[in-house]
Copies of this chain bind each other. A is one copy, B any other.
Amino acid sequence: MIIVNTGNGKGKTTAAVGQIIRSLGRGWKVCLIQLFKGKEFYGEQKILKGLKGLDFYCFAPKHPGCFPGVYRASLVSDCGKALEQFEKALNSKKKYDLIVLEEFNIALRDSFLKAEPLLELLKHKPSNVNVFITGRSAPKALLELADIVTEMKEVKHHYHNGVLAKKGIEF
Contact = CB atoms under 8 A, between A and B. Distances in A.
Interface of A: 1, 3, 5-7, 9-19, 21-26, 28, 42-48, 51, 97-98, 130, 143, 146-158, 163, 166-169, 171
B51 A150 contact: no
B153 A151 contact: yes
A169 B17 contact: no
A43 B25 CA distance: 4
Contact of A150 (B19, B148, B152): B152
B44 A9 contact: no
Chain B CB within 10 A, most for which of A15, A51, A152, A153: A15
Contacts of A47: 21, 24-25, 51
